[in-house]
Amino acid sequence: MKAYQLTGSRRLEQVDVDDPTPADGEVVVQIECGSVCGSDTHVRYQPVLAEEQYPLPPGAPCHEIAGTIVESRNPDHPVGQRVIALPDPSSPGGAGGGLAEYIATGLVITLPDTGTTEDWLMCQPTGTVLYSARRWGQSTDKRIAVIGQGAIGLSFTMIAERTGAKQVIGIDLLDYRLDKSRELGATDTINADREHVVEALAEVTNGEGVDVVVDASADPDGLNQAVSLVNMYGTIIGFSQIPRDQLPTFRHPDWMMKEARIIATGSSLSQTPTEAIQTMVDLKDRGWLDPSVLITHHSAWNDIPDAYEMYAGYTDGIIKNVLDISGAGKSGSKAGAAS
């Protein structure tokens, strides 16, 4: 099958590799589309990793994947079923990734028969946010600030609004993301580049402050910012993935003074990585929240390296990019040629 693989920092190359074979309990999904996540670019695509980590396995880095089952060794998931597929680190054939024509995995989320696959795919990132948002508990007695209004931060904003938060404040450096934030449910937004965030937050909350701060900034200093923003006894939800070589100094005394709870979340690492995404699919199906509003761009198979550059560079108003993986078979490019 055709695939991309990361052979160096910011270098995605097309390769031809063997089709995956499913283990017991697994299915093979013919991938229709994928999407780029911040963790793909910040933690894997962009940094210079240790030499021995290259090349990444074919298909990586990409874990937001949807398509149709073409081979099944799992009676619950028959051939022909449309699914979101999660790469499975414990798979005998390796985790694989979305930048490839096929993936073998035991972790799939069943999709309804209606609607486009790319729209349903957005339930993957937003479902992981649903999982994390449960950690702050009830929303109706809380004011919630979300640092970073990328696809993940915007999903937090939407979920906080839907679950009845008293106030939802989107914080970002980029105005186009703050515009989107207000459009999708933020009651207030703060541009951290232009405004003094602590003062601005006090102003928009009439001095009440916020009970919950979500760090979805992917900024190494995001957790420290969250500590500086949260109320006494408040809750911080950590979602950012930070490369190991960029780990910041934690402002321990500030944290102690606030007595804030810090909760790290990562549904893909949980015991039930598919549950919250399946719940998100059901919630989209009944019209509760449609995460496909996050899609701003589409990229053809041969333009995938450009799509990663755009995502890493925050250019062209990017929020969420759908990668046309089904185009791999139709593309005329030669395997192994850098595009």
Partner 1 sequence: MKAYQLTGPQTLEEVTAPDPEPKDGQVLLKIEHVSICGSDTHLNFHPTLPEEQYPFAPGLPCHEIAGTIVESKNPNNPVGQRAIILPTFDQGVGMTNGGLAELIASEKVIPLPDYGDTSDWVMCQPAGTAIQASREWGTTDDKTFLVMGQGAIGLSTTAVAYRMGAQKVIGVDLDDYRLAKAAELGASLTLNADRDNLVEAVMDATDGQGVDVVVEATGDSNGINVAMELVRRQGTIVSFTLVAADDPTVLRHQEWMRKEIRILPTNAAGAIDPVAPIRDMVGLRDRGWWDPAELITHRVGWDDIPDAYEMYSDRSDGVIKVAIAIE
Q: How far is the CB of 155 from partner 1 (least distance, A)?
A: 13
Q: Which is nearer to partner 1, 279 or 339 (CB)?
A: 279
Closest distance to partner 1 from the beta carbon of 140 (Å): 5
198 bridge partner residues? none
* Residue number with CB closer to partner 1 (35 or 126): 126
Nearer to partner 1, 188 or 219 (CB): 188
* Shortest reach from residue 137's CB to partner 1, in Å: 5
- Residue length of the chain: 339
Each residue of 277-298: b (16+ CB within 10 Å) or e? Answer: bbbbbebbeeeebbbbbbbbbe
Q: Indicate the residue among 36 and 84 with the shorter CB distance to partner 1.
A: 84
Residues that bind partner 1 (CB under 8 A): 130, 134, 137-141, 159, 161-164, 166, 187, 276, 279, 282-283, 288-289
Residue 25 CB, nearest distance to partner 1 (Å)?
21
Q: Which residues of 182-194 are buried (b: 16+ CB within 10 A; e: fewer)?
A: eebbbbbbbbbee
Least separation in angstroms between CB 309 and partner 1: 35
Q: At CA 303, angle to CA 301 and CA 307, rounded to 5?
A: 110
Neighbours of 328 (CB within 10 A): 23
* Distance between CA atoms of residues 83 and 67, nearest Å: 6
d(CA 132, CA 125) in angstroms, rounded, equals: 11
Give the Cα separation of 255 and 223 in Å (integer).
10
Nearer to partner 1, 140 or 271 (CB): 140
- Judged by CB, which is closer to partner 1: 90, or 272? 272
CB of 203 to partner 1, least distance (A): 18
Whichever of 143 and 177 has its CB closer to partner 1, that residue is 143
Q: Indicate the residue among 179 and 282 with the shorter CB distance to partner 1.
A: 282
Closest CA to 153 of 294, 42, 297: 294
- Over its C-alpha atoms, the chain yields an Rg (Å, rounded) of 20
CA angle 199, 140, 173 (to 5 degrees): 35
3-state SS class at 259: coil
**In the complex, least distance from residue 294 CB atom to partner 1, rounded to whole angstroms:** 18
CB of 51 to partner 1, least distance (A): 43
Q: Could you count the other beta carbons within 10 Å of the beta carbon of residue 173?
A: 15
